[in-house]
Structure 1
Amino acid sequence: MTLPTLQPVIVGAGPAGIRAAQTLAAHSVRPVLIDEAARGGGQIYRRPPAHFTRAAATLYGTEAARATAVHNTLDGLQAQIDYRPDSLVWNAQGGLLDVLHGPTQTTRTVPYRQLIVASGATDRVLPIPGWTLPGVYTLGGAQVALKFQGCAIGSRVVLMGTGPLLYLVAYQYAKAGASVAAVLDTARLTDQLAAAPAMLTQPAVFAKGVYYVAWLRTHGIPIHSGIRPVRVLGDQRVAGVVWADSAGREHTLACDAVGFGYALRSETQLADLLGCRFAWAPLHRAHLPERDAEGRSSVPGVYLAGDGAGIMGADAAEWAGELAALALLQDHGVAVDTARILALQGQLSHLMKFRQGLERAFPFPTDWAAHAPDALVVCRCENITAGELRACVRNTGADEINRLKALTRVGMGRCQGRSCGVAAAEILAQATGKPVELVGRLRGQAPIKPIPIHLQTRPSVDAGASA
């Protein structure tokens, strides 16, 4: 029997959001599930258009069974949930979400009393000279092109940066028949060997990573570790990359496309607009919204799940989504399986050692800002360079990221700091001599993603979603 006073809203139909919806539906609660994509699955299990004919094994490789299971779960929930795809949540205040529906470009407000935020993650970007050239993509963008449309970003591709996604994308591209010129990893082989004991706590996941690397080497794809990206070459578009090895020697490699990134960063803007309290998380090298062991945020009625509250991967996102839903139910007097809650918490706790191992294997390049030239464009939306940011610090004494934003416009463009925020904070920390955790974080502003300017400021309320 459906509980008439309990209709939670879930933002994000990735692994965390789908599992949360499934858990609520299993307890006779009908949630509203809002997702920006046309078809659910999240970035990791991004679903191609309905007419797409490539098999799941081709699209997702070793993750095909998991991707299919997540997709089938969402498909099977259609009669039990209020699913709203192609819908962008661009603002939240006063118990209302402002939502833009894509094809018709219409907006409505969706009220909520209980809200699960499963906003996911995006690429963590550290720019290099030439990164604004056509043909340069983030690793996630390169992967989306392959998954969503079956397209490669170029005919001869260099993949660069660090993190597990670097090798996964390289494997997926090569397996699909694309020419991968090289994999350039800023992490050292010694880092990865030292992290192996911690990563062996998840032997199946570790084995996949080893397999990807071995497969690439077996198929003649060069892998260089301990490198430093120097610049992307080209005039009208990408023509090559220059990188330095561990001895400082520079090398040039011809290519027509580059995919780069440094693991992932959490999407936290919505949690910020909701008033969630943030704290510095050293493991993630980021300020993240606080949550308890079951996903409760500092704001009553708001729950956080998945990579949007800290990068832990797809398995952890599913467990966290279920936990958040169980916490929500428990907080509203619904009987839940407490043994299941303890089991999920145990699984997440056990995974933490593996996550720490990943950070050791693929460390953030903390010396990036020291190598960033003054002419480097940090904020491509506003065309702000590293030199302009440093000059602002010298001339004004700005030592906090929002002050730097106000004075230079860094992070004020279409990306709202999603692409440039990490780099701007690193430049500010280097220029002031302060630890990066002390220069602050870019505060979220509505709209958190671009919307048409013709939208009315307060559209009609969706009565069907009221709690």
Structure 2
Amino acid sequence: MTTSRAEGATSAVYDVAVLGAGPAGLSAAVAAASQGSRTVLVDSAPRPGGQYWRHRAGDDGARHHDWDRFRRLERELAAQPLLDHRPGCAVWHVERPAGATDTRFVLHTTGPDAPRGPGGPDTPDAPRGPGGPAQRIAARTVVVATGAYDRQLPFPGWTLPGVFTAGAVQALLKGQGVVAGKRIAVAGTGPFLLPVAAGLAEAGATVVGVYEAGLPTAFAAHPAATLRNLAKVAEGAGYLRTLRAHRVPYRTRTTVVAAHGTDAVTGATVARLDRGWRVVPGTARTIDCDTVAVGYGFTPQTEIPVQLGCEMRRDADGSLVARVDTRQRATTEGVYVAGEACGVGGAQLSAVEGELAGLHAAHVTTGAAPGRGRLARLLRRRAALRSFAAALHHAYPVPDGWLSWLDGATTLCRCEEVTVGAVRTAIDTLGAADPRTVKLYARPGMGLCQGRVCGYATTCLVARATGREPTAEDLRGVAGRPVASPVTLGELAAGSDQDR
């Protein structure tokens, strides 16, 4: 184990640093360590699993899909002597220090300063979570597996208490056993709505309806992808059976276009949509609900690849993702990307990409070559799953007709309370022609979330107003953040003291 002055006198240099402990990160870390690489797995959550396998202590996995895979990875995580697991540890910046000779990257993190897992000082019940002094972790290669979060589209009333993202509702249920409300409307687009609604119904909530803005039958136009992934089709059919058993209405080409209430949600307006997602006149009606769960796909967390100068692209679903090669290598040397950060495709695809990234990162650092049979199997599985993801993106598009649901008073940026009208003024009156300039003039994206919530919507609004499609550069402009997660001045000060 070596050290470098660039990282501080007490920092070990790992062969591989994996960012995120979801399906991609767990798979990458276990694969790298199994090939002889000294590996560190850094994650902000108290337990591994990410959003997909989010769970409470002692959870038997009854509510979780593919739980056996998680348990296997968890066992391997605990058994690997070369793998340090650091939960409750958030990475806020990654850099390549000038003059370092024995490492390429330094991870700046918050949270506990000691490894968690084999050889760590704590027990599974010890307090965990961000809040300790800022720490530095040095590594020769980095695997970015930071996942994604719910993409949000604004609509009148979306800032009311009682309006949640679909992922937040699921996280409450999986992580805390809490049902978000009594009468819940689930709306948006994409297959993720199905497990969310099914989980709520099984937990005892009254799901007043699932309102799918798209038309899932469009998936039938991709028979090859369907045949290669029959298990995933069966999974979706299982969720639909659960909804039928609980008599949950499922409506297509329909969504929530407004939420109502003063201090909390008391109802919502749902309406039929045409192919371009404009409201069909005369179809709006009010439903009785106290909670609205909405999800329009996912926004990949790409702050770290952007920080490291990786080449980015706009994916088929409109997301900004890192460009990778067949080995999951990004365009920046020493950086690998797996899971949603290189393309939203679900947990199974993330796990396969993570395993590939871990194997190839280990090969670079230790020279241990993975078996050809193993690689061939992973590559075939990745191809099949990517074809299914591509079919989903085409079957569940997000047309820009949703912008017609908005009026000038609709909040676009909830952190800074910037309205749609204020953004349109910046475009029409002040001449702003891109999201970055709109941000400077009207302040969307300058609040606590730094554009994570409103960045996509702002990009779409600006592009529509200027008569063009959003570009990767537009999205990169709202995704570039030198600080990838919140860090206090006290944590920064404590970290700087280490170098004195």
TM-score, with structure 1 as normaliser: 0.92
Q: Deviations over 1:377-415 (max 9, x none)?
A: 111011111111111111222222212212222112222
> Could you list the runs of 5+ residues in structure 1 that have no partner in the other structure?
none
Distance 1:400 1:197 in 2: 39
Map 1:210-221 to 2 at 5 A: 210-221=237-248
User: Compared with structure 1, are the counterparts of its residues 300 and 208 closer, same or farther at alpha carbon in structure 2 (3 Å cutoff)?
Assistant: same
How much has 1:344 moved relative to structure 2?
Answer: 1.6
Structure 2 counterpart of 1:449: 485
Distance 2:295 2:302 in 1: 19
Q: SS state of the match for residue 109, structure 1?
A: strand
Q: Deviations over 1:193-249 (max 9, x none)?
A: 545663342101101112212321232111111014320011110111101124431
Q: SS state of the match for residue 122, structure 1?
A: strand
Map 1:18-417 to 2 at 5 A: 18-48=26-56, 50=57, 52=58, 54-57=59-62, 59-60=63-64, 62-77=65-80, 79-94=81-96, 95-101=105-111, 102-195=129-222, 198-246=225-273, 247-248=280-281, 249-281=283-315, 283-332=316-365, 333-417=367-451
Distance 2:498 2:417 in 1: 39
User: Compared with structure 1, are the counterparts of its residues 238 and 324 closer, same or farther at alpha carbon in structure 2 (3 Å cutoff)?
Assistant: same
How much has 1:103 moved relative to structure 2?
Answer: 4.9
How much has 1:437 moved relative to structure 2?
Answer: 2.0
Preserved CA contact (<8 Å) 2:210 2:249: yes
User: Compared with structure 1, are the counterparts of its residues 208 and 223 closer, same or farther at alpha carbon in structure 2 (3 Å cutoff)?
Assistant: same
Residue identity opposite 1:328 in structure 2: A
How much has 1:351 moved relative to structure 2?
Answer: 1.7
Preserved CA contact (<8 Å) 2:13 2:137: no
Residue identity opposite 1:179 in structure 2: T
Preserved CA contact (<8 Å) 2:15 2:362: no
Preserved CA contact (<8 Å) 1:13 1:41: yes
Distance 1:71 1:223 in 2: 36
Q: Does 1:437 align with 2:445?
A: no
User: Compared with structure 1, are the counterparts of its residues 232 and 348 closer, same or farther at alpha carbon in structure 2 (3 Å cutoff)?
Assistant: same
Q: SS state of the match for residue 287, structure 2?
A: strand
How much has 1:192 moved relative to structure 2?
Answer: 4.4
Preserved CA contact (<8 Å) 2:24 2:355: yes
How much has 1:137 moved relative to structure 2?
Answer: 0.7
Preserved CA contact (<8 Å) 1:109 1:460: no
User: Compared with structure 1, are the counterparts of its residues 129 and 200 closer, same or farther at alpha carbon in structure 2 (3 Å cutoff)?
Assistant: farther
How much has 1:124 moved relative to structure 2?
Answer: 0.9
Q: SS state of the match for residue 380, structure 2?
A: helix
User: Compared with structure 1, are the counterparts of its residues 103 and 117 closer, same or farther at alpha carbon in structure 2 (3 Å cutoff)?
Assistant: closer
Preserved CA contact (<8 Å) 1:425 1:439: no
Preserved CA contact (<8 Å) 2:313 2:322: yes
Distance 2:472 2:17 in 1: 34
User: Compared with structure 1, are the counterparts of its residues 5 and 159 closer, same or farther at alpha carbon in structure 2 (3 Å cutoff)?
Assistant: closer
Preserved CA contact (<8 Å) 1:416 1:448: no
Preserved CA contact (<8 Å) 1:429 1:439: no
Preserved CA contact (<8 Å) 2:349 2:386: no
Preserved CA contact (<8 Å) 1:40 1:74: no
How many matched pairs? 455
User: Compared with structure 1, are the counterparts of its residues 117 and 232 closer, same or farther at alpha carbon in structure 2 (3 Å cutoff)?
Assistant: same
Residue identity opposite 1:299 in structure 2: T
Distance 2:420 2:490 in 1: 34
How much has 1:366 moved relative to structure 2?
Answer: 2.7
Preserved CA contact (<8 Å) 2:452 2:479: no
Q: Deviations over 1:241-273 (max 9, x none)?
A: 101124431111111111101121211011111
Distance 2:249 2:187 in 1: 12
User: Compared with structure 1, are the counterparts of its residues 383 and 218 closer, same or farther at alpha carbon in structure 2 (3 Å cutoff)?
Assistant: same
Cα RMSD, aligned residues only: 2.3
Q: SS state of the match for residue 451, structure 2?
A: coil
Residue identity opposite 1:301 in structure 2: G
Percent identical residues: 34
Preserved CA contact (<8 Å) 1:273 1:444: yes
TM-score, with structure 2 as normaliser: 0.86
Residue identity opposite 1:89 in structure 2: V
How much has 1:160 moved relative to structure 2?
Answer: 0.7
